[in-house]
Amino acid sequence: MSSSSCDPGAIALARSLFETTQASQAEIARSAGLSATSLARYAKRQDWRRPASTASFSAASAAPSTSGDPAARLTRRLWAALERRIEIAEAAPDATPMRDLVTLARALRDLAAISTPPAAAIAPEADEEADADSLRAELAARLDRILAP
């Protein structure tokens, strides 16, 4: 199978997830819309590297953590990976399939949901509502740039 048979956006997303998260290859393949076999093939041919902590996961989990909550670290890494994928979509909007944009929107929604403390979600303050309006405006502007002909 040639390397041009899979969607370049899906491959870029898969590589980003592969190199920045602890997710299994099956999870990454599912998230990117690739088969597990294709993911493994691209990873091998293009020499993708798992994060350093993957190789020593059991040793790293036994050692005390000095850099904060593991969930917070994972959330920061996911935000960074998502931001890189959004930049790819903005750089080549014509080459980005609609399903990638839908996946990005869902990932943004889900990541925002796990990043938001429950108390803040229950009782937003007035300036938080203003921030939400500015974020909506920024999101709309980004989507316009991505979807503009």
At residue 19, does pLDDT exceed 60? yes
Residue 138 lies in a domain: no
Residue 101 lies in a domain: yes
pLDDT of residue 45: 92
Residue 12 lies in a domain: yes
Where does the pLDDT of residue 67 fall: very low under 50, low under 70, confident under 90, or very high at 90 and above?
low
Do the Cβ atoms of 28 and 14 come closer than 8 Å?
A: yes
Do the Cβ atoms of 9 and 100 come closer than 8 Å?
A: yes
Mean pLDDT for the chain overall? 74
Structure tokens at 26: 């099956």
Residue 126 lies in a domain: no
Structure tokens at 135: 């974020």
Structure tokens at 118: 């429950």
Residue 111: give the domain boundaries. 8-115
Average pLDDT for 56-83: 62
Residue 64 lies in a domain: yes
Do the Cβ atoms of 115 and 75 come closer than 8 Å?
A: yes
pTM for the whole structure: 0.36
How many structural domains does the chain have? 1
Residue 94 lies in a domain: yes
Residue 125 lies in a domain: no
**Higher pLDDT pick, 85 / 33:** 33
CA-CA distance, 121 to 9, in Å (whole number)? 33
Average pLDDT for 63-89: 72
